[in-house]
Amino acid sequence: MSQKLEQFKKIMAEVTDLGRAEALLGWDQQVNMPRGGAEDRGNILETIAGLMHDKFTSSEVGELLQDLKPYAESLDPRSDDACLIKRVAHDYEKQVKVSTQWVAEFAKETTTSQSVWEEAKANNDFELFRPHLEKVVELRRQYADFFKPWDHVYDPLLDDFEPGLKTKEVKDIFGKLRPQQVELLKAIAGKPVIDDSFLHIPYDEKGQWDFGVDVITRFGYDWNRGRQDKAVHPFTTGFGIDDIRITTRFDPERAASALFSTMHEGGHALYEQGINHTLARTPLATGTSMAVHESQSRMWENLVGRSKPFWKFFYPKLVKLFPSQLGNVSLDAFYKGINKVEPSLIRVEADEATYNLHVMLRLELEIALMEGSLVVKDLPEAWNARMKDYLGVVPAKDSEGVLQDVHWSTGSIGYFPTYALGNLVSSQLWEKINQDIPNLEAQIEQGKFDELLSWLRVKIHQHGAKFEPQALVKEVTGSTITPEPYIRYLKTKYSEIYNL
């Protein structure tokens, strides 16, 4: 059996290597590649995706799994080998139903689509992007069809990003969450508007970059195993546990954009850098799910980065960097400014009280596209109508509306719900962290994050993808994903800021 296990691990290492090569080309596409290179890049990624799929779904892997699954049942269920066999079996049983032709076509089309999306967004031209999005939607419907019968057409897509979670479960969670967030927004709407004008004036780009680098260095980001670059839409990607890269972006009208993007992506990267090296070159050397991954980025960005203790330490440093912009702005005014609640057009710039509504809007649209009750040509109108319904604002142009996110161009339909779920998980973890580290607030006020990072390393990061997300969250917090801690967090925070 040991020989079969070693052969199994060898194949998984090769599949993982191909995936890392694919990721490297994806990173280069968004950071360095000239726009004219999209077709060539699509051809390369088409080839790699096909090779990876063929190798992973080969009869050899199927036969090895048949032998190894009974063996895995004799092992400690928490052992690396047992978890690897279980995870690969889940993915194999799913991917063996998908044709290699579809995988290759999807890789090529989404590479082109992403490049066209960048141009369409820059030029506010939805019609340029529309035929590519229509093709992506068609491909994702075809993908769902591979898994019939299902309870809902969206289930196989959601499972790609949140293994084991069903569309009905997400709807139930959001159904509990939405009315409470709407109630909070109504209470805040009756209060005086917070002045954040100091955030909407020019800030030197280099100063913003340097400050963000200092912050995530103190968080624990290892620059010997990572780097930061600029991209149209910030993202994190890795080519192994020891090469985890982040990107950020600068908005001349939003001074805080780059900082919070850097903290957000830094949170993702800290997760990946903390995975146990025993999982290297296996499918377990990644986050357990996108919701858990998002819990890490949102925790560092918001629960840490938008907290008053954090700014008690960092605000004097920021004022020193930008004296003309912030010299006359008090810490309290700055803290309230970066936490101002105001329905807005852009998801990644949204405050914590409205952010989830952006995600719920996208979930509804994605489900409608997959069900066929909405067609792509009507998407801008549907987007704007839901923005008015959910947030009371309507985009003046598609680049601030239906074109603002990169995800549909990359085929990531099924991804968006994990953003809001990540917010919920972050608050569940935060309550537990504060029980285990009762002086955490004092540590943050001193710019110390070692104990916080160590807790996350032990409880979350080291495990990689060994455990299903709901099981991991329940093990650490005592409950599966639930909205109550997040609602408590929002009400406590904004009651203090807005005197509710």
> Catalytic positions, please?
265
User: In the Cβ-directed half-sphere of 31, how many Cα atoms lie within 13 Å?
Assistant: 18
The owner of tokens 């799994």 is: 65
Give the angle subtended at the CA of 95 by the CAs of 161 and 292, to the nearest 5°: 15
The owner of tokens 């009651």 is: 495
In three state form, how does the secondary structure of the chain look? Answer: CHHHHHHHHHHHHHHHHHHHHHHHHHHHHHHCCCHHHHHHHHHHHHHHHHHHHHHHCCHHHHHHHHHHHHHHHCCCCCCHHHHHHHHHHHHHHHHCCCCHHHHHHHHHHHHHHHHHHHHHHHHCCHHHHHHHHHHHHHHHHHHHHCCCCCCCCCHHHHHHHCCCCCHHHHHHHHHHHHHHHHHHHHHHHCCCCCCCHHHCCCCCHHHHHHHHHHHHHHHCCCHHHCCEEECCCCCEEECCCCCEEEEECCECCECCHHHHHHHHHHHHHHHHHCCCHHHCCCCCCCCCCHHHHHHHHHHHHHHHCCCHHHHHHHHHHHHHHCHHHHCCCCHHHHHHHHCCCCCCCCHHHCCHHHHHHHHHHHHHHHHHHHHCCCCHHHHHHHHHHHHHHHHCCCCCCHHHCCCCCCCCCCCCCCCCHHHHHHHHHHHHHHHHHHHHCCCHHHHHHCCCCHHHHHHHHHHCHHHCCCCCHHHHHHHHHCCCCCCHHHHHHHHHHHHHHHCC
| Residue among 453, 450, 455, 449 nearest 436 (CA) | 455
CB burial class (10 A; 0-12, 13-18, 19+) of residue 166?
middle
Here the tokens at position 369 are 């596209």
Here the tokens at position 285 are 């050397």
- Amino acid letter, residue 176: K
Q: Are strands 236-238 and 244-248 parallel, antiparallel or unpaired?
A: antiparallel
106/109 Cα distance (integer angstroms): 5
| Residue among 295, 312, 308, 315 nearest 198 (CA) | 315
Residue 188 near residue 353, CB atoms below 8 Å: yes
